[in-house]
Structure 1
Amino acid sequence: MGDQVLLAFIAIAIGVAVGVVLFVPFVAVSYRRRGRLGLGRTLLWLAALIYFWAIWTYTLLPLPDPDTIRCVGAITDPMSVVRDVQKAFAAPGNPLRQPALLQLVFNVLLFVPLGFFVRVLAGRGILVALAAGFGLSLLVETTQLTGVWGVYPCAYRFFDVGDLMTNTLGAVVGCTIALVVPPSMRGSEAKPDADLPRPVTRGRRALAMLCDGLAYFFVSFGAGVAVQLWLEYVVRDREAVLDGSIAAAVGTIAPAGVFLVLILSTGRSIGDIAVQLRYSGSRLPAPFARLLRWAGGIGGLSALALGGGLFDLASSLLILVAIVMLFTTRAGRGLPGVLSDQHLADARTPARPHARP
């Protein structure tokens, strides 16, 4: 039981981590294809990510010590499934207590979510679910047959044609079960009203801030890692690598620069673009208003982060002010909107440069 819990934890941890990495593009795609970000659909996609990694953790892990593995062959007789079922029902007692039958049932259940996701998230039917179930099962079984593609000298888990059959059946069953989900909630096709303007809410603005924060982190992290690699393998300055101050500085300046270029050129941050928001209507010249918009957000935060010491406290206060102003300003336009004298609107609303709220 302990191993099963650990494998579940690993699958959840990896799935959530991948979900965080993909969150900003997922939000952007959702707003463009469906007009909004639905909580239920978001949770379903997260469940699909966790499920994908659970397939691999439960079928391949734990990886054995190469010195202690026991090589196994392949079970290529498709009738072995039938014989296992016959033996389970022929044995005395409850057939569901027979390990062979329980294994078959587990193999079916393991791929039921795949078929469900194929219909609900991808909008596809039985044939696609069958192909997806067979393909994923074949990939897993082949990975086992090849000793994780040559990592091990031989297979340490059985390649079983019966598993291919039961896994594929599970995907078909899951796709059939998904028919209970209303058709309006299935599929990935763009909604007819996706391009229509929608109300600007504080929740939507908060989502934009979250996307900006994630984008800032990933740009900062990527720039810092790139600098460390450059110092390590190009400059070969080990002392600078261990010090880390250069990477930290670049990791702060890089996202500030990316956001500055984007806001000056489009008037929108990464989060605004993701959730289809637009700042407009300032009495100030557009370039100056956009500069203030940047300074009231990522720009100011980056400048304070560079200072260190007491400036770290100031950056924390700036974040607190941004959160408070999210709830105290009209439509959550926040500090960037107040400094730039702009108001928030849905980006799909026809622009009126001289309009004021």
Structure 2
Amino acid sequence: MGRAFGGGQAAIDVAVVGLPLLMVVGSALYLRGQHRRYGRLVGWPGQLTLAALLGGLGLAAYAVWPLPTSVDGLCPIVPEPAPALDVGSALLALGVFLPVGILARARFRRGLLVTIALGTALALAVTTIRATGVLGLYPCSYAIDAPALTGIAVAGVLLGWLLARWVPVLWPWGPHRSWPGAVPDRGLPDLTRRVLGALLDLGLWWYGSALVVALSHAYGVVEPATGNEVRVATLLGLAVVFALFLPLLRRDRSTLGCSAVRLALTEPTAARPAARHRVLARTLLLHAPIVVLLALGLGWWSLIVVALHTCTALVRSDGTGLADLVCGTRVRTRATLDGGLPGRLVRYSAPDTEHPRPPERRPTPV
């Protein structure tokens, strides 16, 4: 069976940028699904929802850690035997899989058998990824674990479920409801939600362009000697498509990352999509300098642009940034535009007066 891209340095270059991109895409899909089902992530259930996202990212990072960036010296001539179980590796596996059991019980309300089955599947998947060199992308396995780590991972899931089951009962001041209830998602989004959308946009743009460059090198479309020029051109090209043109075509005037957390750009005084010229001016004022500085390797200077934009958002009650004040736009939720309700929200339906149901017959007591 042949390895992807020959199993050499080209495959490693694809894996180094492709795996983080998959994590960013998975985060975007997860947040989009949670906001569509439950609306705003508020209170303790909202914090557990974000904790589930961080736990999943930590589990994915553990499955591929440490991710080598070069093939040099990666595979020994004589294969190394499976190492003995050490305390550090056991505690790491226990700590990574412990949140799986806690969240399965506290956030997703899963029973013990379902949780153990899920934990076993996750532990076997992680073991397979680490033992096969990220499913064959690497020429050999760079992280050989002791076989007992799989059992320790499952034990960590079981321990987490038991803690989530009994600790809230014994802790009188702890929260008693940890699963979410649907909340109408209208009004002004909080700062955490905006930051999540910006980070998703940055991750999709950065790792997406890096993956395009890596695939171009792997298939011989461009020469490795022109890697820097191709990288800069790809970064700027994707930024023009996804940060400049795409928001102008969408009704919510939002980028992909911000749309994943259900954000929209509206007019200052009306719940309607912002005018396209205002959105274009905001993009040129806020996103364009950041994109150019990052593409040229001057990422630290882009923090000045971010600081200038957020200086007003931190002091205003509506959280409006400087670019929004200048361009006449406001960041609101998507439901403000279309009036949509969360999928899990209980909707009221009026009784059918034209075809009333007959009264229920109850047995007469003897």
What TM-score do you get using the length of structure 2 for normalisation?
0.57
1:234 is matched with which residue: 216, 220, 238? 220
Q: Distance in 1 between matches of 2:205 and 2:130?
A: 37
What TM-score do you get using the length of structure 1 for normalisation?
0.58
Which structure carries more relative contact order (alpha carbon 8 Å, separation 6+)?
Answer: 2
Deviation per CA, 1:57-97: give whole Å up to 9, x if none. Answer: 8xxxxx9967364589xxxxxxxxxxxxxxxxxxxxxxxxx
Matching residue of 1:191: 181
Which amino acid counterpart does residue 259 of structure 1 have in structure 2?
A
**Bigger proportion of residues as helix:** 1
1:275 is matched with which residue: 261, 281, 299? 261
Which amino acid counterpart does residue 339 of structure 1 have in structure 2?
V
Matching residue of 1:176: 162
In the alignment, is the contact (CA less than 8 A) between 1:130 and 1:172 conserved in 2? yes
Matching residue of 1:332: 319
Matching residue of 2:343: none
1:254 CA drift (Å): 1.3
2:101 is matched with which residue: 111, 115, 123? 115
Larger of the two Rg values belongs to structure: 1
1:29 CA drift (Å): 3.4
Structure 2: gaps spanning 5 or more residues: 1-18, 66-73, 169-174, 340-366
Residues 23 and 331 of structure 1, relative CA distance in 2, 3 Å threshold: farther
Matching residue of 2:356: none
Q: Check if 1:288 corresponds to 2:287.
A: no
Q: Distance in 2 between matches of 1:312 and 1:158?
A: 41
Matching residue of 1:250: 234
In the alignment, is the contact (CA less than 8 A) between 2:262 and 2:334 conserved in 1? yes
In the alignment, is the contact (CA less than 8 A) between 1:31 and 1:276 conserved in 2? yes
Deviation per CA, 1:188-209: give whole Å up to 9, x if none. Answer: xx6332x3424444x24xx424
In the alignment, is the contact (CA less than 8 A) between 2:204 and 2:257 conserved in 1? no
1:126 CA drift (Å): 1.3
2:110 is matched with which residue: 124, 131, 147? 124
Q: Distance in 2 between matches of 1:285 and 1:54?
A: 42
Q: Distance in 2 between matches of 1:274 and 1:349?
A: 15
Q: Say which is worse superposed, 209-218 or 132-141, in terms of deviation.
A: 132-141
Q: Aligned pair count? A: 289
Matching residue of 2:58: 50
Structure 1: gaps spanning 5 or more residues: 1-14, 58-62, 73-98, 353-357
SS in 2 for 1:301: helix
RMSD, matched Cα: 5.1
1:320 is matched with which residue: 301, 307, 316? 307
Residues 124 and 324 of structure 1, relative CA distance in 2, 3 Å threshold: same
1:223 is matched with which residue: 204, 209, 227? 209
In the alignment, is the contact (CA less than 8 A) between 2:20 and 2:207 conserved in 1? no
Which amino acid counterpart does residue 191 of structure 1 have in structure 2?
G
